């Protein structure tokens, strides 16, 4: 048998830290999805979003964006388990106005904080892009956490074949939402006049 030999290996490192790859621009005719198909998909998703809103599915996403409560993951898991031929997964902000407003507020807060920090650094003669990136990441942390929760919900949905508990949770949360709605207040002035009128009528009846 020939003597065993050890192959010599070498490792090469890129001299540049960042490498940018330029891809050739495709013409619209070469795209996999045509413009007509794209527009039809948009119309179909809009119809699906309206349908899910009418069914009350958005209740599963209410107050889930930056809420650390343990029940939040349960609700997001249920949302991912909703069984539908045309799933609205990825349209969460369109399904829930509450979620959409939370994301908008977070973005505004993030931009405002980053710009304020940048002005402060310029005032002090400091240039540190990495520091601004850290500030941005801290302010946008709720988006990262929500994306991870959605990913975990997708994983749970793959393991569970029975979506009925998800629909039961939708019904339960919608019933709770209805009971917690404030009842319309009575017109106190009209009620007071009604009581005074009733009292006068009672006195008149006794006198008669």
Q: Tell me the pLDDT tens digit for each residue of 189-201.
A: 555 565 565 555 5
Task: Over range 10-35, report the average pLDDT.
Answer: 68
Q: What percent of the chain has pLDDT over 70?
A: 74
Q: Is pLDDT of 71 > 70?
A: yes
Answer yes or no: is 32 within a domain: no
Tokens 């330029």 sit at which residue? Answer: 22
Q: What share of the chain is helix, strand, coil (3-state, %, to 5)?
A: 65, 0, 35
Residue 27 lies in a domain: no
- Is 129 contained in some domain? yes
Q: Are 110 and 136 in contact (CB under 8 A)?
A: yes
pLDDT in tens, 91-144: 999 999 999 999 999 999 999 999 999 999 999 898 888 999 999 999 999 999
pLDDT at 14: 60
Q: What is the pLDDT of residue 160?
A: 85
DSSP designation for 162: -
CA-closest candidate to residue 81, choices 139, 152, 162, 3: 162
Report d(CA 107, CA 136) in Å as an integer. Answer: 10
Tokens of 73: 């993951």
Whether residue 192 is contained in a domain is answered as no
Q: What DSSP string runs through 155-189?
A: HHHHH----HHHHHHHHHHHHHHHHTSPPPPP-HH
Could you tell me if residue 203 is inside a domain?
no
pLDDT for 83: 75
Spatial separation of the C-alpha atoms in residues 143 and 65, rounded to whole Å: 7
Task: Provide the token pair at 12.
Answer: 């090469």
What gap in Å lies between CA 10 and CA 87, rounded to an integer?
50
pLDDT at position 127 is: 81
Token pair belonging to 90 = 């990825």
| Averaged pLDDT score across all residues of the chain | 82
1 inside domain? no
Structure pTM?
0.67
Residue 50 lies in a domain: yes
Confidence of residue 49 (pLDDT cuts 50, 70, 90): very high
Q: Position of tokens 């990825």?
A: 90
* H-state helical runs in 26-179: 35-54, 71-81, 92-95, 97-123, 129-139, 141-159, 164-179
- Determine the Cα–Cα distance for residues 38 and 51; give it in Å rounded to an integer: 20
Q: Is residue 23 situated within a structural domain?
A: no
Q: Give the number of domains in the chain.
A: 1
Domain range for 97 is 37-177
């Amino acid at each position: 048998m020939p003597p065993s030999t050890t192959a010599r290996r070498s490792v090469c490192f890129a001299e540049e830290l960042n490498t940018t790859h330029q891809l050739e621009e495709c013409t619209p005719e070469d795209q996999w999805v045509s413009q007509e198909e794209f527009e039809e998909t948009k119309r179909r998703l809009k119809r699906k979003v309206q349908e899910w809103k009418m069914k009350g599915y958005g209740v599963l996403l209410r107050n889930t964006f930056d809420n650390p409560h343990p029940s939040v993951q349960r609700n997001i898991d249920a949302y991912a388990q909703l069984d539908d031929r045309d799933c609205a997964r990825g349209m969460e902000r369109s399904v829930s106005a509450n979620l959409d407003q939370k994301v908008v507020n977070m973005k505004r807060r993030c931009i405002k904080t980053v710009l304020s920090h940048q002005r402060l650094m310029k005032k002090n003669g400091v240039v540190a892009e990495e520091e601004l990136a850290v500030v941005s990441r801290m302010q946008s942390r709720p988006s990262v956490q929500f994306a991870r929760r959605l990913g975990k919900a997708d994983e749970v949905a793959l393991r569970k074949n029975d979506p009925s508990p998800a629909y039961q949770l939708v019904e339960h949360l919608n019933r709770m939402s209805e009971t917690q709605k404030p009842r319309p207040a009575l017109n106190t002035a009209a009620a007071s006049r009604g009581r005074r009128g009733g009292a006068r009528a009672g006195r008149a009846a006794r006198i008669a």
